[in-house]
């Protein structure tokens, strides 16, 4: 399950992707438009800025805007920034691997292959949907998982 923070990040990024190339978007407008608490949204946008997805402009007419083309940002990148690992267990994480403390041997673990399939199924969706796809509504069932 993704966090509320991730849902808010996706909603805000959708609006920013729609406005791509038109200049900065004010936080107050984003907050109101998507019904996201302003302080909560500020921390989300700051995280995305610190990871190179967004840039900010100060002063009158300032706000946030995408630093990169929406076609070059996929949902997996955003989810990892906001929520961390996508994998259901730490032992199958591609970017945040940690050996499970209750596992004697990963090679004979009966649960690990299932968790790898769950991870791969999620990644097949998240990695193949860009912000541009999201904005254009191209998020259907065209991704083959198995």
pLDDT in tens, 12-69: 999 999 999 999 999 999 999 999 999 999 999 999 999 999 999 998 888 999 999 9
pLDDT at residue 76 above 90? yes
Q: What is the mean pLDDT of the chain?
A: 91
Residue 142: band (very low, low, confident or very high) from pLDDT cuts 50, 70, 90: low
| Half-sphere exposure for 25 (CA within 13 Å, toward CB) | 25
With contact defined as beta carbons under 8 Å apart, do 11 and 34 qualify? Answer: yes
The beta-strand segments (E) located in 49-127 are 54-57, 63-66
pTM for the predicted model, two decimal places:
0.87
39 contact partners, CB below 8 Å, separation of at least 6? none
Whole-number pLDDT of residue 37: 97
- Alpha-carbon distance of 119 to 97, in angstroms, equals 12
- Alpha-carbon distance of 97 to 70, in angstroms, equals 28
Whole-number pLDDT of residue 145: 47
Residue 141: band (very low, low, confident or very high) from pLDDT cuts 50, 70, 90: low
pLDDT at residue 101 above 90? no
């Amino acid at each position: 399950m993704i966090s509320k923070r991730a849902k808010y990040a996706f909603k805000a990024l959708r609006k920013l992707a729609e406005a791509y190339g038109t200049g900065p978007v004010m936080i107050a407008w984003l907050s109101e438009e998507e019904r996201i608490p302003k302080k909560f949204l500020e921390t989300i946008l700051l995280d995305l800025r610190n990871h190179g997805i967004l840039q900010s402009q100060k002063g009158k007419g300032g706000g946030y805007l995408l630093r990169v083309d929406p076609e070059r940002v996929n949902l997996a990148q955003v989810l990892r920034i906001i929520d961390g690992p996508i994998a259901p267990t730490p032992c199958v994480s591609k970017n945040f691997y940690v050996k499970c403390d209750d596992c004697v041997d990963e090679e004979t673990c009966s649960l690990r292959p299932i968790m790898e399939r769950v991870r791969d199924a999620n990644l097949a969706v998240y990695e193949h949907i860009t912000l541009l796809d999201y904005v254009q509504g191209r998020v259907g069932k065209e991704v083959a998982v198995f």
